Amino acid sequence: MSNLTAVRVHGNSKDSPAKIVFTGSKICGSGRFSNVYSTMMIVPEEMRVAIKNVWSTTEDARMQTEDCAEVQILSKLYHPAIANLLYYFTRDGDTESQKLHCLVLDFMPADMAKLRESGVKFDVLDAKVYSYQLFSAIAYLSSKNVVHMDVKPNNIVINHETGLLKLADFGNARRLDSEERRGPSYQVTRFYRPPELLFGCEHFTCAIDVWSVACVSFEFIANSTLFKARSTADQISLLIDVFGYPSDDDIKGMKIRRPRVGRKKARTIEKFTSNILDSVMYEMLNKTLVYNPTKRLSADEVLALPFYDAVRMRPPLKRSNGGSVPEIIVTYLQKKLAERLGNSREAH
């Protein structure tokens, strides 16, 4: 059993110290610079939570602050489709100079990658339910001038029984209203990395997340990775094969130099995927998977597409496990989308 003092993130006592007690920790995930544990919190309230331990390194200047960058960003976010930071605290690491930043988050049973590995196949309705929540998450991030920078199955946690999803792991996230809007192009896991980064662009926009979520949305339905190559060079060749050589307008929009690669005529996404999807899914992919980030639909615009009509139906449709489409999609996410679209029209 562990007793410690942490900082409360939300509520009336926000930023105040709180005594928390945990018991029965079990590791449930690990990365290069972090481990995630499932544990039962019994004080101040009884609930299962996830604790992410992030260790600072000399390689990342964004970790050399009292609060790591992930804490700084997550503490300003609150959305049903984003991992909720409840508390955070620091403790000493394995060496004198190492500090552990510990994030207490709401718990979800599995991530998308583990569900796929266990043999779970998502039907079309579930794919749309999860895709809708993902685009809702990055639409909210866009409204906060934040880009996640690493949307992939391992960073998408799901309660498949209830149909609820949360975008997690904000260790690579950037604030676009700061100097973090620029940086090295080697960002985002390769299979989900948009073309502007593959071609060397060092200017970050919310369109990065739109590309990644579109790729993941395909994966929910097809149960396979859309663009999968063994190296960055091969990934570029794959995109050239599908979309052709970028136009002058595309090159300008991506803020890159003219790529030194062979010129090919586009195969189209339909031919590349052997026309396995319906027309409304291809409409979504064709409006999000484009070279020029300024011409990709915004996340809000994607959410208004016919692809999600089934998610919006009232009464909610039944999912394959007998449960309904989560009520929060209608009662909260669609309401917030309507508000954002209304504000956008008024601004113009």
Spatial CA neighbour of 49 closest among 13, 18, 83: 83
Same domain, 213 and 305: yes
Whether pLDDT at 76 is above 90: yes
Same domain, 233 and 99: no
Same domain, 19 and 166: no
Same domain, 149 and 92: no
Structure confidence by residue, pLDDT tens digits, 256-307: 999 888 888 889 999 999 999 999 999 999 999 999 999 999 999 999 999 9
Torsion sign across C-alpha atoms 266, 228, 128, 328: negative
Same domain, 96 and 119: no
Question: Torsion over CA of 101, 77, 108 and 103, rounded to 10 degrees?
Answer: 10
- Here the CATH number for the domain that contains residue 52 is 3.30.200.20
Same domain, 74 and 194: no
Please say whether the beta carbons of 236 and 199 come within 8 A. Answer: yes
Structure confidence by residue, pLDDT tens digits, 48-63: 999 999 986 555 544 4
Domain ends where: 72, 106, 140?
106
331-335: average pLDDT:
83
Same domain, 84 and 119: no
2 phi and psi angles, rounded to 5 deg: -115, 130
8-22: average pLDDT:
87
Domain ends where: 68, 88, 106?
106
- Please state the domain count of the chain: 2
Structure confidence by residue, pLDDT tens digits, 138-189: 999 999 999 999 999 999 999 999 999 999 999 999 999 877 777 767 789 9
Domain ends where: 81, 106, 131?
106
Same domain, 303 and 176: yes
- Here the CATH number for the domain that contains residue 163 is 1.10.510.10
Contacts of 154 (CB under 8 A, 6+ apart): 111, 112, 113, 169
Same domain, 277 and 324: yes
**pTM greater than 0.85 (yes/no):** yes
| Structure confidence at residue 189 (pLDDT) | 93
| Structure confidence at residue 2 (pLDDT) | 81
Domain span at 99: 2-106
Whether 60 is catalytic: no
Catalytic residue of the set 111, 126, 150, 209? 150
